Structure 1
Amino acid sequence: MTTLGAVFLPQLPPERLRSVVQAADQAGLEELWLWEDCFLESGIATASAALAWSSTMRVGVGLLPVPLRNVALTGMEVATLSRLFPGRALIGVGHGVQDWMGQVGARVESPVTLLREYTVALRALLAGERVTTAGRYVRLEGVALDWPPTAATPILVGAVGPRTLRLSGEVADGTILTGGTDVAAVRAGRALVDEGRTAAGRSAAHPIVVYLHTATGDGASERMAAERERWGYQGRNPADVTVVGDEHVIAEAVHRWAAAGADSVILQPTPDDPDPEGFVRFVAERVRPLVG
């Protein structure tokens, strides 16, 4: 079964989060995803609040930029969320936007090397291991979490390029694909992830999460046209990267992305959606029954 979720965009003020979370949880939304975009909102702080304000909904952070965060700190934060809200926190890590990393003095020469070292160390910490490593970027000496998760805590990797997609298959528990990933790119991404899994001798399930730009209701076409321009999608077929329409149109698009290999399709509203609470209710109550 395809998992269906929605994004709470960090362009909304933090004080708006509570009402969106409560609307999503009450409507039965499966997953609400949050972003740690510079310089908007913290992924861990918002996830903590969202998990506390909900009862059953899973909350994803997609993603934490690894150049910005010491791996031991991330391990402590993720372990805390896992113990406070067992099975409901989903955490993704990734390169981060390189221009932003440069702004804060955190840009590295080899983002792929950092992500590999970071993900391996983070997963070991969350597994309760005592970690000593002296990599190019990640250095730990006898570090172990006093309060590791009591259950397996999957770590996903956000990936776009072939090297990172293969790396995700090698070292992560799932992969996040950004909005604008068309169905052909989902198929290609799944194949590259599987190459990495095979190379590493991994056979466990590896879910693919993809964001899908979505607009519905009054002004949806105009809002999405502006969104395509903002993301630089000019020249691409709008139906390949976005969906605009009612629940039937959107459910059909979800089916196409799922058929291409996405296990979770997370609907990403436009930043100027006039009713964020209404959007998450729409996803849970009107689209979900049509997805199956």
Structure 2
Amino acid sequence: MARIGAIFNPYTHSPDEFRDAVLVAEREGLPELWIWEDCFRTSAFAAATAALAWTEQLRLGIGIAPMPLRNVAATAMEIATVERLFPGRLLPGVGHGVLPWMAPGGARVASPLTLMSEYVPALRALLAGEQADSAGRYVTLDAVRLDYPPASAPLVYAAAEGPKTLRLSGEVADGTVLDSGHTPEEVRVAVEAIRGARADAGRPGVHDVVSYVVAAFGPDAEARAIADVGDKPDPAERAVWGEPAEVAERLRPFFDAGVDDVVFLPASRIDLADSYAGAAEVARLVASA
């Protein structure tokens, strides 16, 4: 089933606004709220745990936490703890992180692809309750097993953009997070690469694809959405705007391209209550279609 979520953007809203934003999202019936962990702003897992404790229904997506900054065993412990406390409500994702930001923290790696190829399978194994052994270039584990793995392991998402990372995500992750600013056709190409790589790797099951999409509701929605796309060509194809029914209709090409979950990146600094209310109404329209 097609899904809808929205983002709490740490660049347009401060951590002091997070609790109110979470409560608004829950009150409006927004199915998913997504956050991310950029250096050196806020901890994704601390924020997700707080948000889940404040709410009853909302699911929290982490898209993403940077692998170079986090030991894989520690990440597995974080995810397992949150999953056991709030079963089925965490959507954890990892990624390369912004490479220039990794160096100040002493965490930049020479081969982000190698790191992902070692890290994500180890993380998935640990969350499945398996023993993980690895003597890789970046991930070294000697008979590591979680004492308290989740009763049911959550999907592990990987962020991907370039062709090699898209294919690797399909090979090793359970889902992929695509950044905003892409046309439906560009998204289609990415989805085909991801799912083709999964099939080539002989992995059964469905790969879940999340796509961030710039969205705006209310006055001057079109201008604000297009402005947030930036200087890319054909900006009107890379965003959605209008009343909830209009936005739901504009999303059809993204879902037709193979996306499972559209997550709205609110245009600029806006009123989160209005934005999340609009997103929640779009979610209801999409679910009933």
Q: TM-score, normalization: structure 1?
A: 0.94
1:246 corresponds, among 227, 243, 260, to 243
Runs of 4+ with >3 A deviation: 219-226
1:265 corresponds, among 262, 267, 271, to 262
Give 1:129 shift: 1.5
8 Å Cα contact 1:91/1:154 also seen in 2: yes
8 Å Cα contact 2:34/2:63 also seen in 1: yes
Task: Report what 1:143 is aligned to.
Answer: 144
Task: Report what 2:277 is aligned to.
Answer: 281
| Structure 1 runs not aligned, ≥5 long | none
Give 1:189 shift: 1.1
CA distance in 1, matches of 2:35, 2:232: 29
8 Å Cα contact 1:90/1:155 also seen in 2: yes
Give 1:61 shift: 0.3
8 Å Cα contact 2:31/2:283 also seen in 1: no
Task: Report what 1:9 is aligned to.
Answer: 9
CA distance in 2, matches of 1:91, 1:43: 9
Give 1:221 shift: 4.2
SS of residue in 1 equivalent to 2:251: helix
Percent same amino acid at aligned positions?
48
2:248 partner letter: A
SS of residue in 2 equivalent to 1:62: strand
Spell out the pairing of 1:128-207 with structure 2 (5 A cutoff): 128-207=129-208
SS of residue in 2 equivalent to 1:267: strand
Give 1:242 shift: 1.4
Task: Report what 1:46 is aligned to.
Answer: 47
1:255 corresponds, among 228, 252, 277, to 252
1:184 partner letter: E
| Structure 2 runs not aligned, ≥5 long | none
CA distance in 1, matches of 2:164, 2:114: 10
Spell out the pairing of 1:90-129 with structure 2 (5 A cutoff): 90-129=91-130
Q: TM-score, normalization: structure 2?
A: 0.95
> Between Structure 1 and Structure 2, how many residues are aligned?
286
CA deviations over 1:272-292 (Å, ceiling 9, x no partner): 11x11221112113x223323
8 Å Cα contact 1:117/1:137 also seen in 2: yes
8 Å Cα contact 1:20/1:276 also seen in 2: yes
Give 1:56 shift: 1.1
Spell out the pairing of 1:50-69 with structure 2 (5 A cutoff): 50-69=51-70
CA distance in 1, matches of 2:248, 2:25: 18
Give 1:32 shift: 0.7
Task: Report what 2:23 is aligned to.
Answer: 22
Shift in alpha-carbon separation, 1:103–1:225, aligned structure 2, 3 A:
farther
8 Å Cα contact 1:90/1:154 also seen in 2: yes
CA deviations over 1:80-127 (Å, ceiling 9, x no partner): 011000000001111111111123221111100001100011011111
Give 1:200 shift: 1.4
SS of residue in 1 equivalent to 2:103: helix
CA distance in 2, matches of 1:270, 1:201: 39
CA distance in 2, matches of 1:277, 1:47: 19
8 Å Cα contact 1:28/1:284 also seen in 2: yes
1:283 partner letter: A
